[in-house]
Amino acid sequence: MNDLAGKHIVLGLTGGIACYKAAELCRGLVKEGATVQVVMTEASEQFITAVTMQALSGRPVYTSQWDAREPNNMPHINLSRQSDAILIAPCSADFMAKLVHGRADELLSLMCLARPIDKVPLLIAPAMNREMWAHPATQRNMQQLADDGATILGVGSGFQACGETGDGRMLEANELLEDLVAFLQPKALAGKRVLITAGPTFEALDPIRGITNHSSGKMGFAIARAAREAGADVVLVAGPVHLATPRGVRRIDVKSARDMLAAIEGEATRADVFVATAAVADWRPATHSDQKIKKDGSGAAPTLAFVENPDILATVAKSARAQSGALFCVGFAAESHDLVKHATAKRERKGIPLLVGNIGPLTFGQDDNQMLLVDAQGVQELPRASKLECARRLVAEIAQRLPRP
pLDDT tens by residue, 386-400: 999 999 999 999 999
Q: How far apart are CA 88 and CA 96, in angstroms?
A: 10
SS3 48: coil
Which residues, including other chains, have CB under 8 Å from residue 74's CB and lie 6 or more apart?
none
Q: Does 193-288+303-400 match 8-184 at the fold level? A: yes
Residue 162 catalytic? yes
CA distances from 272 to 233, 335, 380, 386 (A): 10, 27, 24, 26
Report the SS3 class of residue 260.
Answer: helix
Query: Is the model's pTM score more than 0.85?
Result: yes
Instruction: Give CA–CA dist 205/188, Å, rounded.
Output: 43
| Rounded CA separation 201/240 (Å) | 7
For the four alpha carbons of 165, 168, 173 and 177, in that order, the dihedral sign comes to: positive
248 secondary structure, DSSP code: T
How many C-beta atoms lie closer than 10 Å to residue 383's C-beta? 9
Provide the CATH number for the domain formed by 8-184 in this structure.
Answer: 3.40.50.1950
The residue extents of the domains of the chain are: 8-184, 193-288+303-400
pLDDT confidence of residue 362 = 59
pLDDT for res 68 = 85
CA–CA dist 235, 10 (Å, integer): 33
Please report, for residues 35, 220, 225, 332, the alpha-carbon distance to residue 2 in angstroms, rounded to integers and kept in the order given: 12, 21, 16, 27
DSSP, collapsed to helix, strand or coil, labels residue 400 as helix
Within 199-238, strands assigned E span 203-204, 210-211, 233-238
Spatial distance between the Cα atoms of 181 and 121, rounded to a whole number of angstroms = 13
Number of alpha carbons in the 13 Å side-chain half-sphere of residue 243: 28
User: 235 near 271, Cβ under 8 Å?
Assistant: yes
pLDDT of residue 360: 62
CATH fold group of domain 193-288+303-400:
Rossmann fold (3.40.50)
Say which residues have a Cβ less than 8 Å from residue 119's Cβ, sequence separation at least 6: none
Distance, in Å, from the CA atom of 26 to the CA atom of 341, rounded to the nearest integer, reads: 48
Instruction: Give residue 316's pLDDT.
Output: 95
Stretches where the chain sits below pLDDT 70 are 1, 335-336, 359-363, 405
Using CA atoms in the order 65, 67, 69, 74, what is the torsion angle rounded to 10 degrees?
A: 20
For 75, counting Cβ atoms within 10 Å of its Cβ (0-12 exposed, 13-18 middle, 19+ buried), the class is buried
pLDDT of residue 361: 62
Task: Yes or no: say if 203 and 287 are a contact pair by the CB < 8 Å rule.
Answer: no
Q: 277 near 197, Cβ under 8 Å?
A: yes
Q: What integer pLDDT is reported at residue 371 of this predicted model?
A: 87
Which listed residue (19, 162, 329, 390) is catalytic? Answer: 162
Peptide bond into 71 cis (omega under 30): no
**Integer Cα distance of 391 and 401 in angstroms:** 15
